[in-house]
Amino acid sequence: MASSFLPPNAGRPNSQLCNDVLLVQMPIEVPAQWKKKIETKYPGIEIRSRVLRLELGLEANKIEPELWKGVTLACLYLTHPEELMSNVRFLQLTSAGVDRWIHHERYKSLDVAISTASGIHCPQIAEWVMSTWLMRNHNLLRHIESQKEGTWSTVRAETRDSAGMRVGILGYGSVGRQCARLATAMGMEVYAFTRTPYTADKKAKSDHYSIPGMGDPQGELPSRWFHGESKDAVNEFLRQDLDLLVLCLPLTTATEYLLGAEQFDILAEGTKRTFISNVARGKLIRTEALIDALHKGKIRGAAVDVTDPEPLPESHPLFSAPNVVITPHVSWQSVNNWNRMLDILEINLDRLDKGKELINIPDRKLGY
């Protein structure tokens, strides 16, 4: 038999993704340079895309059935009918949470590899937390009102700097870790609360996407760790005389309405009045209890980027409650999000091709 001079892999694809079709729906056009890089890296892969425009409503963002034909890899925010997605074996979510997907058959199927966007929002959300905290401590809203009135205010309200204060972070994921980094830079002491304990062998490491120079990848910043799955464990954390309490928890059946009248009463028992920041989900807090706590001075104030209900109806009593800053779920927004999202997608395509475990894998039983 004649000897062959062909390389061992000749005639066979070098990539495991050569027969895959990737469908991407994001708020930007997929950059031509990124698309070319992926097509060069994985010869034979086909990339399709649609721009997501949430301001137009869900109906306008439906992807036509023709575009779904043959799709095996998808990068999405919105859910789509199971019959259109039946061939999808890899699902890259463009959200950090999975609550929109937990009832979808693709999410339930263990044959489908799933990854979230955890980590892409941490710089801007942490900046939102700290900017609203500083705005309150430095009375900036009062000074802005004086400017609008054209007056030079001579009122000297109490101003506080953050050095020596204590922040408690409920949920020490990527956002919580970046909040800890910023708080530490301002001289604050960090307490962290997680569902499970961080033992010496685990070393509190995060296996999620991390922007270089951001967060706390090794879990080194908290001076004290707390953990637990019960209300009693959370209540004990709330008794730690916190100046600032940041909610970074996912919304699950276990965390729904985690803070209610009982928890605000506990905060009121401390020697300090706590300022609460919620950048997670509105249903972590019972709104009527928050309003009551603000009116009665049980807490120093609150900054909420998420509410229950959301959006807040016109003239809702939370709007007129004292010492509260409300923004319409915008803390996650940044023009840098989508380049980071494409970074995660590229990392996971490489891992999928090599048969390695993805990054940002959610726990489907826990729902985050």
In 14-105, DSSP assigns E strands to 21-26, 46-51, 73-76, 90-93
User: Average pLDDT for residues 309-314, to the nearest whole number?
Assistant: 96
Predicted local distance difference test score (pLDDT) of residue 365: 85
Q: 198 is written with which tokens?
A: 């961080």
Domain boundaries defined on the chain = 21-120+334-354, 122-326
Predicted local distance difference test score (pLDDT) of residue 154: 79
Tell me if residue 193 falls in helix, strand or coil: strand
In residues, how long is the chain? 368
Per-residue pLDDT of 240-293, as tens digits, reads: 999 999 999 999 889 999 999 999 999 999 999 999 999 999 999 999 999 999
The kind and range of the H/E element at 324 are strand 324-326
Per-residue pLDDT of 71-110, as tens digits, reads: 999 999 999 999 999 999 999 999 998 988 999 999 999 9
**For the purposes of burial, counting CB atoms within 10 Å of the CB of 126, is it exposed (0-12), middle (13-18) or buried (19 or more)?**
buried
CA separation for the pair 308, 306 (Å, rounded): 7
DSSP string, 230-275: SHHHHHHHHTS--SEEEE-PPP-TTTTT-B-HHHHHHHHHSSSPPE
Q: Are 243 and 167 in contact (CB under 8 A)?
A: yes
Predicted local distance difference test score (pLDDT) of residue 205: 61
Per-residue pLDDT of 318-349, as tens digits, reads: 999 999 999 999 999 999 999 999 999 999 99
**68 has a pLDDT exceeding 70:** yes
Query: What's the one-letter identity of residue 19?
Result: N
Q: Helix 32-41 to helix 337-354 angle, to the nearest 10 degrees?
A: 10
Whether 21-120+334-354 shares its CATH topology with 122-326 is answered yes
pLDDT bracket for residue 206 (50, 70, 90): low
| Alpha-helical runs (H) found in the chain | 32-41, 65-68, 82-85, 105-108, 122-137, 140-149, 174-185, 231-238, 261-269, 287-296, 337-354
Q: What is the CATH number of domain 21-120+334-354?
A: 3.40.50.720
pLDDT bracket for residue 7 (50, 70, 90): very low
Per-residue pLDDT of 132-162, as tens digits, reads: 999 999 999 889 999 999 999 877 788 999 9
Predicted local distance difference test score (pLDDT) of residue 8: 40
Give domain 122-326's CATH superfamily.
NAD(P)-binding Rossmann-like Domain (3.40.50.720)
